[in-house]
Structure 1
Amino acid sequence: MTVALLVNPAARAGAHTGAAERAAERLRTHGVRTTILSGGSAHESSELLRTAIELGAAAVVVAGGDGTVNLALQEVAGTGIPLGIIPSGTGNDLATTLGLRELDPVSAADAVAAGATRDIDLARVTRDDGSRAYFATVLASGFDSRVNDRANTMRWPRGDSRYTLAVLVEFMTLSGLPYEVELALVDGTIRRVTGDLLMATIGNGTSYGGGIPICPDADPADGELDVTLIRPAGRLRLLRLLPRVYKGTHTGIDEVSTFRVRSVRLASPGVTAYADGDPIGTLPLTVDVAPRALRVFVPR
């Protein structure tokens, strides 16, 4: 097997600090031919990966977090080319979903070499200009996308606590935003939600931001997407809500609505949506499910 191992040198938690080299060395001991790809930008990384696939790479492995994994998704979605993850980024939420988060680079490489795979769904975003992109975990808009804006500009602290601090800072200026949401429910009916929302999130996976279970019941292999909408409330009440969000027990609160959908359209003026931790487009956006679009390596 020939593997293209993608590293993004701009990854926030330093995916290039040795994890890729250790994983590549381990793969080679298993007889897996491994080429490390490291672009100077997201665009260059994508081009390098695309070329490697055209030249016959049988599998793709990513050393990094969800943002770097997302670059690879765009190239391997729907192809049947399996994707492996060496979790070494800030969030690692897809790695958590796949049971890889706690693996060190050597153990994660062993999972690739062992060859066990499963097929999971992806969420597919269609922008108003017709362009498309995929994501694997959660799309965030509203309060949580503002948290991402802030977290991405913070130099300290590193790791998951960066998101926690960004949440607390953004909470101080919390306000609702006008939304129009159109939900194509799994029973075939259409439901529309309009009015102010604090946040609107779409989950193919359960968590974002390094393990925050915003869509706690999402299953990336059920052919459906989970939507979580949170309406404005008093700041003190919302402050009490935050710990429940981190525990995944928030879905029973009056201000929280959840839906199972085949597709959803989100619209709100000037709001940038984030998916897999990085910007994916400005609302309005339409998101639908691409069933079993990604083959991933998993531990045996």
Structure 2
Amino acid sequence: MPRRIVLVVNPTAGRGRAGRALPGVRARLEASGDEVAVVPSTDYAHARATMAAAVAGGADVLAVMGGDGMMHLGVNACADQASATPTLLGLVPAGSGNDLCRGVGLDPDDPVAAAGVVADGSRRDLDLMTVAGRHVGAVLATGFDALVNRRANVMAFPRGSSRYTVAALAELRVFSPLRYRLVLDGAPRELEAMLVAVGNTSSYGGGMRICPAADPADGWLDVTVIHPVHRATLLRLLPQMTSGRFARHPCVEQLRARVVRVDGETADGAPLVTFGDGEQLGDVPVDAVVAPEVLPLVVSTAR
């Protein structure tokens, strides 16, 4: 029996990459014999409302095409459904980062192949983390990384993932270690650090593997702490995040927990800011809590 697939797409994602790839993605979905409705989003609020309506209307699959912001909306639309036959989430990467897609085994550079997964794949229920009343699929950033994200979001140039590199260099010039108060599964810690990242999947910022061992099906959150180092050392570590090799440095500590409370402030006393899936979530304190098997996702049968 044909399924009903609602494809919500941000045609401007990836500097227009999504709009250019849409005909091939649509053709691949329709080749499966399913009923496909394509809804181009006009803005963030429209995309969120369209996804909510697709789930409430009983669509078999909500396919989301765009960058990590669109994926964040799709995750929150499809998580925690009470129905025995929930709407499944399908991911089609077409943005500049595509980190959630990386984390669930999709090729971040091939939207048509991802559409094939939506068309031919099977259901798998994956973990998320809940933070500030929202679900996060990839990584919670709270330190230097969050400040870089905030700076990058207001930059008009350059476009794409390279703006994170430029933002990181600019932030590094004025950055001082942050004061953290953490509680990991009930165990408190106070420390100074460059950043504390909490991962459900491994990467953020367009492929920076900040939590290299994170697995969205193991029931745990991975926590990476980068302890205070000279700015030049942090600069040397940044390129190694793409491979995850940075984690071998003595300044890096990796932990696991099911509940992580993050609190603290900058050197000048301002509260730390938090980002999840690249979206600003607000200031600390926040609790990141693993939510096991709450996301019904379409994944490749080859996994």
> What is the aligned partner in structure 2 of residue 187 from structure 1?
none
C-alpha RMSD of matched pairs (Å): 2.0
Cα deviation for residue 19 of structure 1 reads: 2.6
Q: So what's the TM-score if we normalise by structure 2?
A: 0.88
Residue 148 of structure 1 contacts residue 163 of structure 1 at CA under 8 Å; is this kept in 2? Answer: yes
Question: Structure 1 residues 116-125 or 242-251, which shifts more?
Answer: 242-251
Tell me which residue corresponds to 2:268: none
Gaps of 5+ in 1: 185-189
For structure 2, the 5+ residue unaligned runs are: 266-270
Retained in 1: the 8 A contact 2:94–2:109? no
Q: Does 1:150 align with 2:151?
A: yes
- Bigger mean CA offset, 65-74 vs 148-157: 148-157
Percent of matched pairs sharing the same residue: 39
Cα offset for 1:135? 0.8
Say whether residues 1:14 and 2:48 are aligned partners: no
Instruction: Give distance in 2, aligned partners of 1:290 and 1:202.
Output: 14
Q: What corresponds to 1:94 in structure 2?
A: 100
Deviations 1:136-158 (A, max 9, x none): 11110111011111222223333
The SS at the match of 1:232 is coil
Letter in 2 for 1:19: A
CA distance in 1 between partners of 2:154 and 2:238 (Å): 22
Distance across 1 between alignment mates of 2:11 and 2:232: 41
1:54 aligns with 56
1:30/1:67 CA distance change after superposition, 3 Å:
same
Give me the whole-angstrom Cα distance separating, in 2, the residues matched to 1:146 and 1:257.
20
- Deviation, 1:226, is 0.4
Shift of 1:209: 0.6
Report if aligned partners of 1:19, 1:86 keep a CA contact under 8 Å in 2: no
Range 35-44 or range 64-73, more displaced: 35-44
Name 1:165's counterpart in structure 2. 166
**CA separation of 1:91/1:8 partners in 2, compared to 1, >3 Å: closer, same or farther?**
same
Aligned length, in residue pairs? 290
Amino acid at match of 1:168: L
State the distance in 2 between where 1:213 and 1:103 align: 17
Q: Secondary structure at the match of 2:19?
A: coil
Q: Classify the secondary structure of the residue corresponding to 1:286.
A: strand
Aligned equivalent of 1:113: 119
Matched to 2:236, the amino acid is R
Query: So what's the TM-score if we normalise by structure 1?
Result: 0.89
Conservation of the 8 A alpha-carbon contact between 1:37 and 1:49: no
Match of 1:84, SS state, is strand
8 A contact 2:10–2:19 mirrored in 1: no
Q: For 1:214 and 1:157, how far apart are their aligned partners in 2?
A: 23
1:36 aligned residue (35, 38, 54): 38
Q: Please give the residue correspondences for 1:117-132 in structure 2 after superposition, counting only pairs within 5 Å.
A: 117-125=123-131, 127=132, 132=133
- Counterpart check, 1:209 vs 2:205: yes
Q: Which of 270-279 and 93-102 deviates more?
A: 93-102
State the distance in 2 between where 1:54 and 1:287 align: 27
Does the aligned pair in 2 maintain the 1:10–1:40 contact within 8 Å? no
Per-residue deviation at 1:55?
1.8
Q: Which residue matches 1:23?
A: 25
Distance 1:177 1:103, change over 3 A: closer
Moved more, 50-59 or 60-69: 50-59
**Conserved? CA contact 1:141–1:199, under 8 Å:** yes
Question: Which amino acid in the other structure matches residue 121 of structure 2?
Answer: G
Match of residue 220 from structure 2: 224
Paired with 1:102 and 1:230, the residues of 2 have a C-alpha distance of 27
Q: In 1, Cα distance between the equivalents of 2:122 and 2:167?
A: 37
How far apart in 1 are the matches of 2:70 and 2:125? 19
The answer to whether 1:182 aligns with 2:183 is yes
Alpha carbons of structure 1 residues 197 and 181: separation in structure 2 relative to 1, 3 Å:
same
